[in-house]
Structure 1
């Protein structure tokens, strides 16, 4: 349950970054609502996960999912550079996240 909450928190973090991008383009009430709901859900789910997973592990995995997911979506949705180096280092983030899960 706590690992599912942590993964969901990371995915909500990615959605929150998309919402942030939307706020920069469209400064309207629905964009801000989308931002508040997505980041609120992310922090709430992270809180649930941290009741059973150590703070350092939970935070590292949450930020890893957020960083990797946001970078990948930026490359594919917003036309950011798709250099092999970026993909390589995203892979390292994901391997590190898996390592933390394996060690916990």
Structure 2
């Protein structure tokens, strides 16, 4: 169950980073509210996952899901550039996540 909480927390991290961008510095109230609610829910789920998972594993996977997910949202939804260096960096992050999961 901890892994389900952790993945859900990571997905909510993607949601809040995207809606934070859409809030334009918290000047759009609806996106600002979604951002804050998603942040709180993400932290809450992460805390549940940390009850049984090691700190290093849980935090690394949570931030990795958020980082790679935000990168993909940037590419596919916001039209950000997909340079070779950025793609290699994302692949390395995913590789680290896989290794961290295998080590747990």
Under a length normalisation based on structure 2, what TM-score does the superposition of the two structures give? 0.94
Q: Which residue of 2 aligns with 1:36?
A: 36
Q: Which residue of 2 aligns with 1:72?
A: 72
What do the CA deviations read for 1:10-46 (whole angstroms, capped 9, x no partner)? 1100001011111117723211110111111110110
**Aligned CA-pair RMSD:** 1.3
Q: Structure 2 CA distance, aligned partners of 1:72 and 1:9?
A: 17
Q: Which residue of 1 aligns with 2:24?
A: 24
Under a length normalisation based on structure 1, what TM-score does the superposition of the two structures give? 0.94
- Displaced runs of 4+ in structure 1, greater than 6 A? none
Q: Structure 1 CA distance, aligned partners of 2:28 and 2:84?
A: 36
Q: Structure 2 CA distance, aligned partners of 1:39 and 1:72?
A: 19
Paired residues for 1:1-20 under 5 Å = 1-20=1-20
Q: Secondary structure at the match of 2:61?
A: helix
Give structure 1 stretches of 5+ with no counterpart.
none
